[in-house]
Amino acid sequence: MELKKDINAVSIDMLLIVHSEKRRAAQGTHSDLQADPGALLQRCGGFQGVGNGVRRWQKLEGNNLHGNLAEKQHLQQPQVITSYDNQGTQLTVEVHPRDAMPQLLKKFSLAKRLQGDKNGNTRPRQPEGKDAHAYPWDRSSLKSMPLDLRQFEKLDTYASQVTAKSGLDELVNDLLQEAHSDLERVRAIWIWICHHIEYDMAAAQEKDHQAFKPTDILRTQKTNCDGYAGLFERMCRIAGVQCMTVPGYSKGFGYQTGQSFSGEFDHAWNAVYLEGRWHLVDSTWGSGLVDTTTSKFTFLYNEFYFLTHPALFIEDHFPDNKNWQLLKPPQSLRQFENNMYHKSEFYNKGMLSAHPETSVIRTVNGKATVTIESCAPTLFMFMLNGKQEHGLLSLRKNGMKLEVYPPTMGTHKLQIFAKGNSDIYSSVLEYTLKCNYVDMGVQLPAELHQPVGPSWFSEQMGITKPSHPDPLIHTSDGRCSISFGVEEGISVLASLHGDDGPITEETQRRYIFQLHREKRIELKVQLPHAGKFALKIFVKKRQEPGNYIFVFNYLLCCANTKVNWPVFPESFGNWGQDNELLEPLSGVLPANRNVPFKLKLHGIAKVLVKGQDTWPLTLNHEGYWEGSCSTAGCQEVYVMVLENANHNFYSYILKYKVNAQ
């Protein structure tokens, strides 16, 4: 190579650049598209491997450094030939007219394009020890460098609104108008790509390498993972920031828990050099999601994949070169395959850890237990084989505990979802559950919803200081009494649910009798038979329209086969909040009997019990209305009250049925 240089000119007959860097990836696969069940519970991943696509892309790139060229100029452009040896060494040779400026020199050496390091080196250096982060994750940050995302608010807004008017150089120049550091330059490029380039399913399926060309990406605003990574690298280099494309394996679309990886790579992402250290980004997975049912892309920005902490990035990205893990110690492929996969939403919604830490778990005596630790109170739900059944999920201030009882032996799919600050539950974990024994004594009611037991959430909804803090309540005689404090203005509704009769939708609330004592509510419960029942608790603000909101439920268990309690009497709207019923508590009265009544009612002038005849109750010195009535000759008995002594209008407050003779 002959090099002549003075102040005014640079002349190079041939430029030879050697990169010792493995470049192998899959062709024609898109297994790294991230997806979860449900239309909005999936993320888009990268799709097509690099492989020959990178080689082809570089050849095309060399011919299109300044945007679209006229076809007639094509033959006059320099040729860029890239090849690799068996060791993965990259060799790039440019052949150009003697009097022309070398294109690769423009690309790699012009100060405005790619600035060298302090030693004047323009070729991006390989990662070193100082780039590595400790593994496992130390919980300090989701990012690989200290960031205050609020500092990007103005820049993000600006970058997301920039339009591509012509070539790539002009676009980058426009983006950098509001960027004043390498970090801000990278951020502007990242935001633009994530908000303007959509994933092209057709290109991935058809193995269309044209989708890698930056000029075509700008024109169509569509590409696959290789195009995302190549475009990001190219724009960073134009901006003067060192950037590399990294191929590898990913846990994305089509990934099965615990699967092994072999053969060609299926994804590509980037490493970018900032503040003396390499950092990782994946603009494909940062841009949005693909609906697995319709294969349509939706822009849904995901901050997680911008400068992700390497100890988190390794959960779903395994690079071809272990040095690009940026970890100390690096993980093996076997570890990558076996390690638990926490989806990005796991960390986005404030989760810190989960146990077990393996993706495949086995039941012990028919039960599997999963716990999650979070940095703030979070709502969770789960699905076992697509149904919210066969589990007890209890909320904790910093996480949750889930006990699962598979109904059959074999392999089951367990998914866990978290809500966070949004209104949508997102999939955060997925386990493969293997069960070799079923405990037939643990058959949970199908109506047992999540969560079970009181928690920070029930307290937030106005229910405080419960008499039973645990979700399970055992009763030997089929009866129990549960009480809790209630904030001012909150109404409570409760219903009882079992898997077999005699409970019907009409009688779900008749096995519960609700009493109010000052600022506490007592629920008296009588079970119709032995078994397991879900006691659901709902709340509603009295002054607000709308339905009652489910808050939590208890699991009531009774093994006494002699239990056969009837329903409570039916109460009407005029049954006051502070009223108290002592007797009769059974809603079904015996025929041809004198039945005693004892109630505490507030603000009442007169009380009558009406059967075939009418019997008045009297007020004793303790404040209880007492008396009796005969059930002879009647099928129903009512308790009626007169609130104003000056009026003659009585209101029904309780209704009893009389057994047939």
Q: Which fold has domain 131-332?
A: C8orf32 fold (3.10.620)
- DSSP letter at 230 equals H
Token readout for 581 is: 């019923």
Token readout for 299 is: 């822009």
- Per the residue annotation, which of 225, 236, 435, 480 is the catalytic one? 225
Domain pair 347-435 / 570-658, same fold: yes
Span 494-542, pLDDT tens digits: 999 988 766 777 678 889 988 887 789 999 999 999 999 999 999 999 8
Question: Hey, what CATH class is 347-435 in?
Answer: mainly beta
- The full set of domain ranges for the chain reads 131-332, 347-435, 456-558, 570-658
401 and 369 in contact (C-beta within 8 Å)?
yes
Phi, psi (degrees; rounded to nearest 5) at 289? -140, 160
Chosen CATH of 570-658 out of 2.60.40.1930, 3.60.150.10, 2.40.50.140, 3.40.30.10: 2.60.40.1930
Given a cut of 70, whether residue 314 has pLDDT beyond it is yes
Task: Report which of residues 647 and 181 the model is more confident about.
Answer: 181
Q: Which fold has domain 456-558?
A: Immunoglobulin-like (2.60.40)
282 catalytically annotated: yes
- Per the residue annotation, which of 282, 412, 480, 634 is the catalytic one? 282
**Portion of the chain with pLDDT greater than 90, in percent:** 61
Give me the pLDDT at residue 94, please: 54
267 catalytically annotated: yes
Average pLDDT over residues 64-73: 36
Window from 161-165, 288-292, 406-410, 442-446 with minimum mean pLDDT: 288-292
225 catalytically annotated: yes
Band of pLDDT at residue 92, cut at 50, 70 and 90: low
DSSP string over 380-402: EEEEETTBS-SEEEEEETTEEEE
Span 16-57, pLDDT tens digits: 544 444 343 433 344 445 544 333 333 333 432 333 333 333
Given a cut of 70, whether residue 12 has pLDDT beyond it is no
3-class DSSP state for residue 444? coil
Give me the pLDDT at residue 22, please: 39
**What gap in Å lies between CA 405 and CA 444, rounded to an integer?**
9
- Pairing of β 520-526 and β 512-517: antiparallel
Span 120-135, pLDDT tens digits: 445 688 899 999 999 9
**What gap in Å lies between CA 483 and CA 406, rounded to an integer?**
32
**What gap in Å lies between CA 468 and CA 481, rounded to an integer?**
9
Span 614-641, pLDDT tens digits: 999 999 999 999 999 999 999 999 999 9
SS (H, E, C) 518-574: CCEEEEEEECCCCEEEEEEEEEEECCCCCCCEEEEEEEEEECCCCCCCCCCCEECCC
Span 573-593, pLDDT tens digits: 778 767 888 999 999 999 999
**What gap in Å lies between CA 193 and CA 287, rounded to an integer?**
7
- The pLDDT mean for the chain works out to 82
Given a cut of 90, whether residue 206 has pLDDT beyond it is no
- Per the residue annotation, which of 30, 133, 195, 267 is the catalytic one? 267
Burial class (CB in 10 A: 0-12, 13-18, 19+), 621: exposed
**What gap in Å lies between CA 617 and CA 651, rounded to an integer?**
15
